[in-house]
Structure 1
């Protein structure tokens, strides 16, 4: 399903749903960040997705990372909670979802890079190369917070 992201856009459609979701900051031993090239919006992003009923947020981060990338991780901390009501995603089925994302730091424990139905590319990317990728501003904020290892989680 295709989607369009609106970020602080006064012409954005009004949200009609909110779905708790997660993203994961996962770096390899070389300090490269695990990223996915999404099929739904053609943007690079952290691995992540919606939390399933009966699932904890940390478990969702582990599951979504494995599903989208083939990489196994364990959650090590909290980067922040991202709930900007001025960031909405419009899907082609009429849903307009308000952002609600919990971003975790993780440690890579194994696995092999592979794509999924949600990802057309998966890669470990050196932080110096991030500016060469098309990354949404709200995702870039999470990445910056995750890579700078802030003293306190972002709450916003």
Structure 2
């Protein structure tokens, strides 16, 4: 079987009942939302749920699909979801040195990569829905 020519990834903006965003501190990119590569034979939605659990210990329910983003240079197609926590407890790993919920404005200040901040804002913008699919 040939090697895939592109990478699929999935990330989730997780909002709790207090309207705070779940962030993790990555050793590579500092503060970010949970997400990562979708595995072979895994749906994008399932990959988003799995990556959130692996990186943070939090179980989530997907509420909405927020859009797709591409990085042509690295052959990555990233998919973004909005989710809510339904269980679990914070669990750090090699991929997540710290985990926490933060008010939206503070979270946006903490996330240093502008494309990640833009994606969070896209997902929270109730008027911008490139693909309106609610779960």
Please state how far the C-alpha of 1:42 moved relative to its aligned partner: 3.4
The answer for unaligned runs of 5 or more in structure 1 is 1-16, 89-96
Q: Partner of 2:41: helix, strand, or coil? A: coil
Pair 1:70 & 2:57 matched: yes
Contact 1:78 1:153 in 2 (8 A): no
CA RMSD of superposed structures (Å): 1.7
What is the distance in 2 between the residues matched to 1:120 and 1:19? 25
| 2:22 is the counterpart of 1:34 | yes
Gap regions ≥5 residues in structure 2:
none
- Pairing 1:110-121 to 2, within 5 Å after superposition: 110-121=87-98
- SS of the residue corresponding to residue 54 of structure 1 reads coil
Q: CA deviation at 1:49?
A: 0.5
Partner of 2:42: 55
Q: Report the Cα offset of residue 129 of structure 1.
A: 0.7
Q: Which portions of structure 1, spanning 4 or more consecutive aligned residues, are displaced by more than 3 angstroms?
A: none
Partner of 1:80: 67
**Count of matched residue pairs:** 127
